[in-house]
Amino acid sequence: MKVGLFIPCYINQLYPQVAIATLELLEKLDVDVYYPTGQTCCGQPLANSGYEEDSKSACQVFVENFKEYDYIVGPSGSCIYHVKKHFDILEQSKEVVKVRNNAYELCEFIVNILGTKNIGASFPFKVGLHKSCHGLRGLKLGSCSEKKESHFSTEESLLNEVKGLTLMSLNRKDECCGFGGTFSVFEEAVSVKMGKDRIQDHLNNGVEVITGADHSCLMHLDGLLNRNKQPIKVMHIAEILNSSI
């Protein structure tokens, strides 16, 4: 099984530690993992802004980079969702279909493909899980509060196995953080307010570290936490699962 590691553009440039944790985690799990170095971006920032047409070449580059792998794994539910859902704008060649079918968010890959939940991590902190909307409602990484369905959560099932970690419950379990890509700039006021409200929920419930499977949400929350000097850290779920504190 050959796995292509997909590192979203902003993680590559701004959060190399998340990419490193993802890679190390996969290596720990004995995955034959490769990092195609010609990769750029899934095209989502353009497409969500209404410039889907202009994102086609970026999508093509993505397919070129990953077409030879059995699985494509990335630490971002949102980008993976984009590949699966919106690469319908490309001509559906064999390669495109293969890439779309075999793209997996990291947690989903570990739990559903590798069939593991316990990675032997330890992380003795009170953790709040931020469920990214694209991971939750797009990739169905868990049950949604709006729907009548029995409770499950891919990320929770992994975090519950981490030694010393206490998963705190939130008042609003799956409300959006307000990042939304370019929404964060074009609708700045509402975006900021949404982020502040999410953080308050974590603060009210005694959270020390906010985690999630999408670092873009966490980047937005971290920006607010740092500006307002609030006593919470953010860490990508890969960093927690790769910890042995």
Three-class DSSP category at 173: coil
Three-class DSSP category at 29: coil
Give yes or no for residue 49 binding another protein (CB under 8 A). Answer: yes
Give yes or no for residue 145 binding another protein (CB under 8 A). Answer: yes
- Closest approach, Cβ 194 to another protein, in A, equals 5
Got the DSSP string for 97-147? HHHHHHEEEHHHIIIIIS-------B--SEEEE---HIIIIIT--B--TTS
- Closest approach, Cβ 20 to another protein, in A, equals 6
Contact 7, 75 (CB under 8 A): yes
Which two three-digit tokens encode residue 13? 């440039």
Stretch that binds another protein, among 52-60, 96-104, 120-128, 204-212 (CB under 8 A): 52-60
Q: Which of 55, 66, 64 is nearest to 88 (CA)?
A: 55
Give yes or no for residue 58 binding another protein (CB under 8 A). Answer: yes
Give yes or no for residue 111 binding another protein (CB under 8 A). Answer: no
b/e code 104-126 from CB counts within 10 Å (16+ = b):
bbbbbbbbebbeeeebebebebe
Three-class DSSP category at 230: coil
Q: Which residue has the tokens 């590559």?
A: 12
Site string for another protein, 161-190 (x = CB under 8 A): -----------x-xxx-xxxx-xxxxxxxx
Give yes or no for residue 69 binding another protein (CB under 8 A). Answer: no
For another protein, give the closer residue by CB, 74 or 162: 74
Three-class DSSP category at 37: coil
Contacting residue, 88, 204, 226, 245, with another protein by CB under 8 A: 226
Stretch that binds another protein, among 7-15, 108-116, 157-165, 201-209 (CB under 8 A): 7-15
Give yes or no for residue 204 binding another protein (CB under 8 A). Answer: no
Give yes or no for residue 150 binding another protein (CB under 8 A). Answer: no
Give yes or no for residue 38 binding another protein (CB under 8 A). Answer: yes
Give yes or no for residue 130 binding another protein (CB under 8 A). Answer: no
Give yes or no for residue 35 binding another protein (CB under 8 A). Answer: yes
Q: Give the chain's length.
A: 245
- Closest approach, Cβ 73 to another protein, in A, equals 14
